[in-house]
Structures are given as C-alpha cells and as structure tokens.
Amino acid sequence: MTKPDPAKRAQLEMAAAAGSHLNVGSFRFWFVGQRWEWSDEVARMHGYEPGSVVPTTELLLSHKHPDDRQHVQDLLDHLLHYGGSFSSRHRFIDTSGGEHTVIVLADRMVDDSGAVVGSEGYYIDLTDTFSAARRQVLDDSLPELFESRAAIEQAKGALMLVYRINADAAFEILLWRSQQTNTKLRTLASQVVAELDTLRYQPDGLRREFDHLLLTVHDRVVRSRDR
C-alpha cells in the first residue's frame, strides 16, 4: 500500500485549518435599487439568523462603528457614481454589541453583455484570527512544505501593506484564496508578486486595484498553464 505524501497531507491540513478558522462570507450589491444579498456567514457576522432579515444599505450602515460610518457611506457613494470595485477595512457592531474588524474585498459584477451592474465580493472578519495552536502547526510545517518561501513572504508583505493587517492574517487570506480557487499556495503567491508591477500607485486607487488582483489572479495562473 502506498504511503500518503507527508508534505501534501500537511498542506491539506493547513488549508483546512485556515479555511475553517478564517471567518469569511460573501455578498452581492446591485446598483439598481441598491439591492444587497448576504451569505449566511455575513448574516451571522452581524448577529442575524440566515434568512431572518433583508439586508439594505440603511441596515448595513446602521451596524457600522460610528467612527467608520461616514467612511463607508463615502465609499458607497463613490461606487454608485463611478462603478468599479468596493473596498474597505472598517468596524461594525453586531446585534449583541460585539465589535468586528473586517476587510471587504469586492470586484465588479457584470451582466451577460459585460455591463457593470454591481459589486460582489467577501467580508473577511479579522476579529478572532489564528489560534496559537494553529499558528504553531503552521510554523512547524512551513519549512518542509515550501521549496521557495520568498514569493509567499513577498505576497504576505503586500497584503500587510495594503490592508494594514499582521503577518498571520495575511497568510490566512492567501491560504483561503488558495483553497477556494484550488490553486497551489506558492503558485498563487508567485503570480500575485509578478503582477504587483501592473498596479498604478495612486493614493485612492491602490487598494481597489489590489482587490481586483487578489480576487482574479488565479485566472491568470490557469491561463498561463494552458499555454
């Protein structure tokens, strides 16, 4: 009987651990009528049972931390006027009074004709990231798992800079994208690093451009394999 590859098994365990621990939910926002759709995870983040509430712009803003509410309102206004992506790092208060720090990663949502009709993406809850036990497992496994850590470290650094998060949260996000898109972590990270030169370093647009890169980079990995 063939023995399972220890490195592959450890990598799968890492991805499963990070994916189950990282609290991520999806959403969609249609410009016409300002209609929102929350996944069950996003509803629970806000303290609601799935299906018990219809998300609206007013409801969404009512949950924002008072110090961050105007920031989110300004981003929504910009989104409705100019289209494109919606990106933010902010705080909100759930129904029990708990405070959450989240990153919103979003990209353009298009119809069959290619017209931009809204925005869709993910809430990533950073409030309770990475238990000490999981961190130790990753620290012990990483040297054996990755032949080249440079690209992963560089990609982590880019996420840390753009989203103002620590190294653990940056690594969790990379693992999440790797698992969700079925792309090897090292390959995904290398592609992120390779495309950093394509970003336009404008004060108001860098984060939105990086959001688009992070949410779509796996498509370029697939295309490059097919050549």
Query: For 57-98, what is each residue's pLDDT tens digit?
Result: 999 999 999 999 999 999 898 888 887 676 788 999 999 999
Q: Compute the distance between CA of residue 121 and CA of residue 107 in angstroms, rounded to an integer.
A: 6
pLDDT (0 to 100) of residue 222: 60
- Reported CATH class of domain 23-125: alpha beta
DSSP 32: G
Helix segments in the chain, DSSP class H: 6-21, 40-45, 57-63, 69-82, 132-145, 150-163, 167-181, 185-194, 206-226
pTM (whole model) above 0.75 = no
Per-residue pLDDT tens digits for 156-196? 999 998 888 888 888 889 989 988 888 888 899 999 999 98
Confidence of residue 4 (pLDDT cuts 50, 70, 90): very low
* Stretch(es) of the chain classified as CATH 3.30.450.20: 23-125
pLDDT (0 to 100) of residue 15: 40
Amino acid identity of 88? S
SS3 210: helix
pLDDT (0 to 100) of residue 28: 94
